[in-house]
Amino acid sequence: MKQITNYQNKKVLVLGLAKSGFSAAKLLHDLGALVTVNDGKPFEENPEAQDLLALGVKVITGSHPIELLDEDFSLMVKNPGIPYEQPLVQKALAKGIPVITEVELAYEIAECPIIGITGTNGKTTTTTMIAEILNRGMETGVARLSGNIGFPASSVAQEAKPEDLLVMELSSFQLMGTVTFHPEIAVITNLFSAHLDYHGSREAYVKAKWHIQENMDSSDTLIVNWKQEELRNLAASTKARVLPFSSEEKVPGAYLLAGNLYFKEELLMPANKLGVPGVHNVENALAAICVAKTRGIANEAIVAALSSFTGVPHRTQFVAKINDRLFYNDSKATNILATEMALGGFDPSKLILLAGGLDRGNSFDDLIPSLIGLKAVVLFGETKEKLADAAKKAGIKEIYYTENAETAVPIAYEISQAGDAILLSPANASWDQYKNFEIRGEKYMAAVRALS
């Protein structure tokens, strides 16, 4: 990593720990900063705080005392999930203290180029596809996953060598806390309304996403989903070279045409040879192709990687084939839009949907068009009755109720036939029954494995 000196003897407050806060605090300490960490979790339940204290970092846990900012801090590094309305953040901003996220630190120390991926849906899948293609086709160096995908960018950047690439998934929360961050290649998969409780408006959310290209110039490449008019309009204002992709029309980039994936008139592969189903995954693959071609990766490596790609955990992930039934885990589908996208990848007449979860007060009428033609649904959780109402309106006759995602598996298997697909895509958060969507997906996959 770059041995920067601009943090030596500077007072820095790290607000919020977890993986990214711990990584940022340790890095800043190693760079000579006078670090104070503040985290809401009690010290005795906080192994990250305990480890930092052992290193000599000042640690304050259990609450967020506003008088902390009576000290003369030069910088605040905020955990991305902490909203800007939080009193300490508000006071820092009022005092003119810069507030950043740890991806900004990662950029400052990185010795290698960064490929940044953001968007509402498909970020993780696209990020993983890109890394797998690059690692199959790069002659030197390693494409390293980092960022919102679960590997703190400021940790990965410390290990990366100049010949490597940081393939970085970026949330809107992370991007809001960047100042000089400058990817060589940036991808925006799509833009829909999301996280409005955090951002306050769609305009603020889009602004945060668009910030990914703020420091890019004509030597950089911005890859955008040309299917969306909003992104086409935004692309007119960037200084970067724009490279489009589209699943609906021929564009001067990557596109889907007559069932095949192309890049600038060059046929790469049939879309049905992708290792994951659905138009949304076609779009993810097109974005990944744009990155790969920009980096000079050979077609053979691109096709081999995309053909063998079977998804990432909990995102339309292929689980098993049992007696000619295909099981998929899309537990990450915590909203209607994500489930709509997953359903679009299957023949509805041969699909059994497993869905349900936390009741946030919304109806599921928006899901009805995507439910039409489904073979059956197996429903669970707080929203099972609401989902059943939507299923009835969609004309589905086979509607079953059960306790949870695990107990839905044997029911779905029992009513299925050879050639059917069984898809967990809940359209709801998991918190009524599970700590997170990952645990829900793991429980589901364990129940599938138990069948065999």
- Do 27 and 94 fall into the same domain? yes
Please list the rounded mean pLDDT of every run of 10 residues in the chain (452 residues). Answer: 95 96 97 98 96 97 96 96 95 97 98 97 94 98 96 97 98 97 98 86 96 98 98 98 98 98 98 91 97 98 96 89 96 92 93 96 96 98 98 98 98 98 97 96 98 89
Indicate whether 5 belongs to any domain: no
Indicate whether 2 belongs to any domain: no
- Do 118 and 88 fall into the same domain? no
List the beta bridge partners of residue 242. 222
Q: Tell me, what's the pLDDT at 414?
A: 98
* 356, 383 contact by CB (below 8 A): yes
Contacts of 383 (CB under 8 A, 6+ apart): 356, 357, 358, 359, 364, 427, 428
Q: Tell me, what's the pLDDT at 313?
A: 86
List the beta bridge partners of residue 353. 377, 423
**Which domain-ending residue is among 308, 325, 348?**
308
* 305, 273 contact by CB (below 8 A): no
Q: Based on the structure, what is the number of domains in the chain?
A: 3
- Do 265 and 347 fall into the same domain? no
Contacts of 97 (CB under 8 A, 6+ apart): 69, 73, 74, 75, 76
**What's the rounded Cα separation, in Å, for the pair 76 and 249?**
45
Contacts of 3 (CB under 8 A, 6+ apart): none
Indicate whether 3 belongs to any domain: no
Q: Tell me, what's the pLDDT at 391?
A: 98
- Do 166 and 292 fall into the same domain? yes
CATH number at residue 67: 3.40.50.720
Burial label for 30, CB within 10 Å (0-12, 13-18, 19+), is: middle
* 336, 407 contact by CB (below 8 A): no
Strands across the sheet with 143-147, in order?
143-147, 165-169, 114-118, 185-188, 221-225, 241-246, 254-257, 260-263, 266-270
3-class secondary-structure state, position 278: coil
Q: Tell me, what's the pLDDT at 345?
A: 86
Torsion sign (Cα): 41, 46, 51, 54: positive
Tokens 């104070």 belong to 36
Q: What is residue 436's DSSP assignment?
A: S
List the beta bridge partners of residue 251. none
**Which domain-ending residue is among 308, 331, 348?**
308
From residue 317, alpha-carbon distances to 136, 146, 327 in Å are 21, 20, 9
Task: Show the beta-strand stretches assigned E in 331-416.
Answer: 351-355, 376-379, 399-401
Q: Tell me, what's the pLDDT at 251?
A: 98
Kindly state the tokens that stand for 355: 């869905």
Q: Tell me, what's the pLDDT at 452?
A: 83
**Which domain-ending residue is among 100, 122, 151?**
100
Q: Tell me, what's the pLDDT at 125?
A: 93
- Do 402 and 375 fall into the same domain? yes
* 342, 425 contact by CB (below 8 A): yes
Q: What is residue 203's DSSP assignment?
A: H
From residue 217, alpha-carbon distances to 104, 183, 212, 236, 240 in Å are 18, 10, 12, 13, 5
Q: What's the pTM value of the predicted model, to 2 decimals?
A: 0.86
- Do 70 and 33 fall into the same domain? yes
Indicate whether 6 belongs to any domain: no
- Do 236 and 303 fall into the same domain? yes
Indicate whether 84 belongs to any domain: yes
From residue 86, alpha-carbon distances to 16, 90, 352, 359 in Å are 11, 6, 43, 26
**What's the rounded Cα separation, in Å, for the pair 146 and 109?**
14
**What's the rounded Cα separation, in Å, for the pair 407 and 444?**
8
Q: String of b and e for 156-171 (b: at least 16 CB within 10 Å)?
A: bbbebeeebbbbbbbb
- Do 278 and 324 fall into the same domain? no
3-class secondary-structure state, position 32: coil
- Do 34 and 122 fall into the same domain? no
Note down the domain range covering 434. 317-451
Q: Tell me, what's the pLDDT at 272?
A: 94
CATH number at residue 326: 3.90.190.20
Indicate whether 373 belongs to any domain: yes
CATH number at residue 263: 3.40.1190.10
Q: Tell me, what's the pLDDT at 196?
A: 84
**What's the rounded Cα separation, in Å, for the pair 357 and 449?**
22
- Do 159 and 272 fall into the same domain? yes
Indicate whether 1 belongs to any domain: no
- Do 291 and 386 fall into the same domain? no
Provide the total of helices (H) and of strands (E) in the chain, helices listed first: 17, 20
**What's the rounded Cα separation, in Å, for the pair 14 and 172?**
19
* 100, 177 contact by CB (below 8 A): yes
Indicate whether 95 belongs to any domain: yes
- Do 147 and 265 fall into the same domain? yes
